[in-house]
Every structure is written in structure tokens, then in C-alpha cells.
Amino acid sequence: MTLTFEDFPPGPFGSFGPRHVSREEILAFAAEFDPQPMHLDEEAAKKSMLRGLSGSGWHLGSLMMRMMCDGFIDRTASLGSPGVNELRWLAPLRPGDDLMLDVEVTEARLSKSRPDTGIVTFKGVARNAKGEALCELISPIIVRRRDGAGAA
Amino acid sequence: MTLTFEDFPPGPFGSFGPRHVSREEILAFAAEFDPQPMHLDEEAAKKSMLRGLSGSGWHLGSLMMRMMCDGFIDRTASLGSPGVNELRWLAPLRPGDDLMLDVEVTEARLSKSRPDTGIVTFKGVARNAKGEALCELISPIIVRRRDGAGAA
């Protein structure tokens, strides 16, 4: 069954995971997209603000996207997203972390320009196994309404 | 020579690229982090809002991060970033695009909590070869001040 706009009222939506994150993944992502010493080099990372090897914040955001895809976007009538309203890196992603993602709907409104769609704004919080919040993401997604809703 | 807070006054900073983006890269990133049909499946993508295969917005953001690393962050006394204030996906990333990144400093202020550092807010705009803006990114970075500046 495909989820439509009507399935996303404001409020808690669900928790997804765990997603294990290996050291190899962290190093591979950093080498490709964010080759800063704190993400690539154990010794340099120890001296960094984050006091140890940490994953790129872009890696963490991309992992959250994947967890949302697996959790619900893959079965949602989603047309795409105009962007991210806010992305906060709160604590470092560490090698071996098992991520959980808590998702809530912060706003759901009908689109003015496309009456057969609505804009659902999601807030996702990624946590490690200790429950520490690592990253907060707020992003709107354009979602189709139930068949026939909004038709002229 | 390492760039410090003093090297980032508000105003235009520089343009970086081009960075060629292949179809294979777009498909590989999507398969790992954003497996939506519009990023993975040519036929489904044709019927999507973006009317053809497009790269994941997280891929584009990660590529912009890499272009900033190569352009200046790798030689900047950067301590890291607390997050992204805004990320706007304006037009689709297409297979074969050659990306350019225009960077400006929108704000530079001294840190209250860490007097030997400042917060430099960057705005990056990624464009394709036709000059169309594909993505706008606004993000602060914590940058060390020149040696001795802010010391007690």
C-alpha cells in the first residue's frame, strides 16, 4: 500500500534502524567527499575538536536519508524535496555506531500550486545506541494526495 | 600557508571546479544512500517531477563539500561545522554535468565561547556548465584565528 499525504498528520511518525556504521564506510565516504583529517586520520582526529575519528556530517545526513527511504519513503507517493531547512550536527558519528532514527511530522499542508499534492515537513533525529542525539534534520517532502483528492 | 579567520572577510571568496559527475557515480550514490526510482531508474525518472535521471540531493551536497575541501578547507585552520543553515535543491543534477561552485562569505564573527576562533558562514552555489544554479548551501564553519589572536 502506498502512503499518501493523508498518512502524514503532524506528530510522531516512527523509529527506524538500527543501522550499523563501520569504520571502513566512514573512511570510504570521507575519502570521496570530505577528506578532512578528523574524518580520515586516527592520529589527527585525536587532536581534533571531536577527540577521535568521526564520520563526515554529510555521511551522517546521507545515512539518515537512506534510513528514511527504507523506513517509509520507498512506499510513499513522494515527488521529491525542495531542500533541507536545517541540519544540526550535535555529536560525532563514531566507527561502530548503531544508528536509530526517530521521525516526526512537524507540518503537513496542501500545496497551492499543485492541488493534487501536499508538503509534509519531517524532523529526523539520529541517535547512537546510548540514545545520544547525533544529528537533527528538518526537511519538507512533496507528497501526492489520495487518488482523486484535489482534482479539478 | 594556512588560512585563518582573518582570511575570510564577508564578500565573494572564490569559484571552484569544474567537477565532472558521471552517470555511474550518480547511480552508485543513489544505490547506497537514496534509492528512489528518480535517482536509479531511467524509465521511472522520465515520469518523475524532474523529467529524467537526477542525482540525489545528498550526493550534490556531498560533492559541494568535496569541492570546498579541495578549494580551500584543506588549507584552512577549520575545527569543523555545527551544521547547515539551509540547503536548497533548485534544479536537478544530471549525468555528465560539470559542476562549478561559487563561494561567498556571508558572515564572519568572533566566537564568544572560544576566543581563539571565529565562525565563518559560507554560501555556496553549485552551477552546471550552462550556469544554472542547482543547489544553494549556507553553512557555518569554526575557524581558528591567527596565532596568538584571542589568547588570554
pLDDT at A152 over 90: no
Q: Give the pLDDT band (50/70/90) at residue B102.
A: very high
Q: What does the pLDDT read at residue B151?
A: 66
Query: Looking at chain B, which residue has its C-alpha nearest residue A67?
Result: B33
Q: How confident is the model at residue B144 (pLDDT cuts 50, 70, 90)?
A: very high
CB pair distance less than 8 Å for B85 and A82: no
Contact A65, A19 (CB under 8 A): no
Identify which of B72, B56, B59 has the alpha carbon closest to the alpha carbon of residue B17: B72
Tell whether A151 is covered by a domain: no
pLDDT at site A151? 66
Can you tell me the distance from the alpha carbon of A34 to that of A25, in angstroms, rounded to the nearest whole number?
13
B73/A36 touch (CB, cutoff 8 Å), yes or no = yes
B121: in domain: yes
CB distance B65–A38 less than 8 Å? no
Work out the mean pLDDT of chain A and round it to a whole number.
96
Pick among A22, A64, A65, A73 to test the B interface (most B CBs inside 10 A):
A65
Is B2 an 8 Å CB contact of chain A?
Answer: no
For residue A143, give the chain B residue with the closest CA: B49
On whether residue A57 sits in a domain, the answer given is: yes
Helices (H), A36-130: 37-40, 42-46, 57-71
The reply to whether A74 touches chain B by the CB within 8 Å rule is: yes
To which H or E segment does residue B42 belong?
helix B42-46
Cis check: omega of the bond before B18, within 30 degrees of 0? yes
Stated as kind and residue range, the H or E segment containing B61 is helix B57-71
What length is written for chain B?
Answer: 152
On chain A, the residues whose CB falls within 8 A of the CB of B82 are: 88-89
| Gap between the Cα atoms of A82 and A79, Å rounded | 10
CA pair distance A49, A139, nearest whole angstrom:
28
Q: Give B8's pLDDT tier (boundaries 50, 70, 90).
A: very high
Shortest distance between the Cα of A11 and any Cα of chain B, in A, equals 23
Say whether residue A57 is in contact with chain B using an 8 A CB cutoff.
yes
Q: Which chain B residues are within 8 Å of A63, Cβ to Cβ?
A: 33
Domain containing B84: what range? 5-144
Q: Residue A64: its pLDDT value, please?
A: 98
Provide the domain count of chain A: 1
Q: Which residues of B111-149 are buried (b: 16+ CB within 10 A; e: fewer)?
A: beeeebbbbbbbbbbbbbeeeeebbbbbbbbbbbbeeee
User: Within a domain: residue A133?
Assistant: yes
- Domain assignment present for B91: yes
Arithmetic mean of pLDDT over chain B: 96
**pLDDT value of residue B1:** 81
pLDDT tens-digit series, residues A14-52: 999 999 999 999 999 999 999 999 999 999 999 988 899
For residue A142, give the chain B residue with the closest CA. Answer: B49
For A141, the closest chain B residue by CA position comes to B89
**pLDDT tens readout for residues A124-143:** 999 999 999 999 999 999 99
Residue contact B89–A82, C-beta within 8 A: yes
Q: For residue A33, give the nearest of B48, B63, B80 by CB distance.
A: B63
Chain B residue with the nearest C-alpha to that of A47 = B79
Q: Is B42 a member of any domain?
A: yes
Indicate which CATH number applies to the domain containing A79. Answer: 3.10.129.10
The reported pLDDT for the residue numbered A149 is: 79
User: Can you tell me the ipTM of this complex?
Assistant: 0.96
- pLDDT at position A148 over 90: no
Whether A71 is covered by a domain: the verdict is yes
Collect all residues of chain A within an 8 Å Cβ-Cβ radius of residue B121.
none
Share of chain A above pLDDT 90, in %: 93
Contact with chain B for residue A106, Cβ under 8 A: no
* Model pLDDT for residues A51-86, shown as the tens digit of each residue: 999 999 999 999 999 999 999 999 999 999 999 999
CB contact under 8 A, B61 and A61: yes
pLDDT score at B12 = 98
**Residue B152, pLDDT above cutoff 70:** no
In a domain, A139, yes or no: yes
Cβ-in-10-Å burial (0-12, 13-18, 19+) of A16 comes to buried
